[in-house]
């Protein structure tokens, strides 16, 4: 394959190799690579074992500068700086004797799918993107043509810290007009995956399509879907693993006029403390064709110690979505009947299940609330609120209000119900109360999908204004009203006011991008 159009003159370019060949080349060329006893390829990403969001840069260009939500998420660089980093990446790629190219698709809906090209130096990276993108047929590959986006992964070579705008040896640069991404100074494969998502988060809304950081399932009978938003620890992955429903995807989706579709062809699951008992679907999926990233294994029998976090807490497994038995292929479904926001409220004041109106949906979508608890991070001794806009702040390109407006439009157009589900604490905050039982949360989700909560009686929460469901099959009635689960009503009131104040303070940064009705949909302090 010839890459001269990018300034790359390497003669040995290997395009869309099969997993078997990539396994062979990884074992031959990378000393640390191994094959697990399950058949998955074990690979290591070097010193970077997670994303580097503070090193992400977006080119400020006249054609898109009015669209981009500039700030700590989208840090600007000028085009000359991007070209310096691009040339540095291309120069490094030209020093390699062999390069790998993956040509594949992002988006299962052919009306909206993007053709993505990845140029990289490591077989592990090629296998990862072969897994995470949608793999073309032989005929589609022959007719692939020019890509819609190109990723130059020169992650083994550092950025120059003296280049304008660089803060470390790592740089992940996105040029929206050129539809290019340049990676320097990090070999963490997830940067490529989220780079594709970032590009989709810009170009899909331009086509009136909502891109979403969520999991999705569908009813096996009528095809009606639901989407589940939630930050880490809220239960998004666990609750989407529902044998009664089809899995559409675990992480990245779009909602178009045709329905919803998965952006990806694979799943990228956390592997720390993975067991066959707790996560049987994921455990069996990590076989030949999958990638196990930064795990520790026994050098004798190559069994993986999933509880070992000596390299990182962020051990990962990437596998094709068809490795999940109840996955729906192609990964498409009808319009969602239900939109579910998951939160783990460690303050213990949000109800287990509430129904949201359109403005409340926008407010809580933009807020993206959950809470850290004591012991999860150094210095956290009491519940600590965490807000990530649209439940995916690091990957947004437009102002959060843009995505929220698209969501509200879809909800109204397709008469979807929106729910706020608290999987966190009841009977008091973390340290006093207890975590919601998974059985109760599953009963709530089952009732949502069955439609049995649509006409359930509600009470209005006086602080948060939520329409609190007061009757749900399989859930004790007293649990549904959090005030009733606290021993001291005054302490409950104080905790509710504290959390409400945090919501209000956080939302101020989005005030200029949303309507007054959305601002008014938040809690009352």
Exactly one of 32, 72, 232, 307 is catalytic; which is it?
232
Q: Shortest CA distance to 57 belongs to which of 168, 212, 220? A: 168
Q: Helices (DSSP H) in 168-312: which residue ranges?
A: 190-206, 236-240, 280-285
C-alpha 396/C-alpha 392 separation (Å) is 7
The answer to whether the CB of 474 falls within 8 A of the CB of 440 is yes
Exactly one of 170, 211, 226, 237 is catalytic; which is it?
237
Exactly one of 245, 316, 355, 399 is catalytic; which is it?
316
Q: Shortest CA distance to 211 belongs to which of 139, 95, 134, 106? A: 106
C-alpha 105/C-alpha 117 separation (Å) is 9
Exactly one of 56, 194, 245, 372 is catalytic; which is it?
194
The pair of structure tokens assigned to 52 is 């580097």
Supply the DSSP symbol for 328: -
Exactly one of 57, 236, 364, 440 is catalytic; which is it?
236
The answer to whether the CB of 216 falls within 8 A of the CB of 226 is yes
Which SS3 state, helix, strand or coil, does residue 442 take?
Answer: helix
In the residue annotation, 237 being an active-site residue is answered as yes
Exactly one of 86, 115, 213, 224 is catalytic; which is it?
213
The pair of structure tokens assigned to 397 is 């390109």
In the residue annotation, 103 being an active-site residue is answered as no
Please state whether beta strands 336-343 and 417-422 pair in parallel, antiparallel, or not at all (unpaired): parallel
In the residue annotation, 51 being an active-site residue is answered as yes
Count Cβ atoms within 10 A of the Cβ of residue 497 and give its class: 0-12 exposed, 13-18 middle, 19 or more buried.
middle
Exactly one of 55, 109, 250, 251 is catalytic; which is it?
251
In the residue annotation, 251 being an active-site residue is answered as yes
CA within 13 Å, CB half, 310: 5
| Exposure class string for 357-378: b at 16+ Cβ within 10 A, else e | bbbbbbbbbbbbbbbbbeeeee
Please state whether beta strands 114-120 and 98-106 pair in parallel, antiparallel, or not at all (unpaired): antiparallel
Exactly one of 48, 51, 56, 224 is catalytic; which is it?
51
In the residue annotation, 213 being an active-site residue is answered as yes
Kindly list the catalytic residues: 51, 194, 213, 232, 236-237, 251, 316
């Amino acid at each position: 394959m010839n890459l001269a159009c990018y300034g790359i003159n390497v003669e040995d370019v290997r395009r869309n190799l099969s997993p078997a060949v990539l396994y062979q080349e990884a074992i031959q060329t990378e000393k640390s690579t191994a094959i697990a006893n399950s058949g998955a390829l074990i690979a290591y990403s070097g010193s970077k074992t997670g994303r580097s969001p503070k090193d992400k840069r977006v080119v400020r260009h006249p054609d898109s500068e009015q669209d981009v939500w500039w700030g700590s998420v989208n840090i600007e660089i000028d085009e000359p700086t991007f070209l310096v980093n691009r040339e540095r990446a291309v120069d490094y790629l030209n020093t390699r004797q062999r390069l790998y190219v993956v040509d594949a698709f992002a988006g299962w809906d052919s009306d909206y799918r993007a053709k993505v090209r990845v140029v990289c130096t490591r077989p592990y990276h090629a296998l990862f993107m072969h897994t995470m993108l949608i793999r073309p047929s032989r005929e589609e590959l022959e007719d692939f043509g020019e890509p819609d986006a190109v990723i130059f992964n020169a992650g083994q070579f550092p950025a120059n810290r003296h280049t304008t705008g660089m803060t470390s040896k790592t740089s992940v640069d996105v040029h929206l007009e050129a539809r290019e991404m340049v990676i320097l100074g990090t070999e963490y494969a997830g940067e490529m995956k989220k780079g594709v998502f970032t590009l989709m988060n810009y170009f899909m809304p331009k086509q009136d399509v909502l891109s979403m950081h969520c999991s999705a399932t569908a009813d096996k009978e009528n095809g009606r879907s639901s989407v589940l938003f939630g930050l880490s620890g809220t239960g998004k992955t666990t609750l989407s693993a529902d044998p009664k429903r089809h899995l559409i995807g675990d992480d990245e989706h779009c909602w178009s006029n045709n329905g919803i579709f998965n952006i990806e062809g694979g799943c990228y699951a956390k592997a720390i403390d993975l067991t066959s008992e707790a996560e049987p679907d994921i455990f069996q999926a990590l076989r030949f064709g999958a990638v196990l990233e930064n795990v520790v294994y026994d050098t004798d029998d190559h069994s993986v110690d999933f509880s070992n976090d000596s390299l990182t807490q962020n051990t990962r497994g990437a596998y094709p979505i068809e490795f999940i038995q109840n996955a729906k292929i192609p990964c498409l479904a009808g319009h969602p009947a239900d939109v579910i926001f998951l939160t783990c409220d460690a303050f213990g004041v949000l109800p287990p299940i509430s129904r949201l109106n359109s403005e409340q949906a926008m407010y809580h979508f933009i807020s993206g609330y959950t809470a850290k608890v004591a012991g999860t991070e150094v210095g956290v001794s009491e519940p600590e609120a965490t807000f990530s806009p649209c439940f995916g702040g690091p990957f947004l390109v437009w102002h959060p209000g843009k995505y929220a407006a698209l969501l509200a439009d879809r909800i109204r157009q397709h008469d979807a119900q929106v729910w706020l589900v608290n999987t966190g604490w009841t009977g008091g905050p973390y340290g006093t109360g207890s975590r919601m039982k998974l059985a109760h949360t599953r009963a709530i989700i089952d009732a949502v999908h069955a439609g049995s909560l649509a006409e359930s009686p509600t009470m209005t929460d006086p602080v948060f204004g939520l329409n609190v469901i007061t009757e749900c099959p399989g859930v004790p009635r007293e649990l549904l009203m959090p005030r009733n689960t606290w021993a001291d009503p005054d302490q409950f009131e104080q905790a509710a006011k504290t959390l409400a104040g945090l919501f209000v303070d956080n939302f101020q940064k989005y005030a200029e991008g949303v309507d007054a009705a959305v601002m008014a949909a938040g809690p009352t302090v």
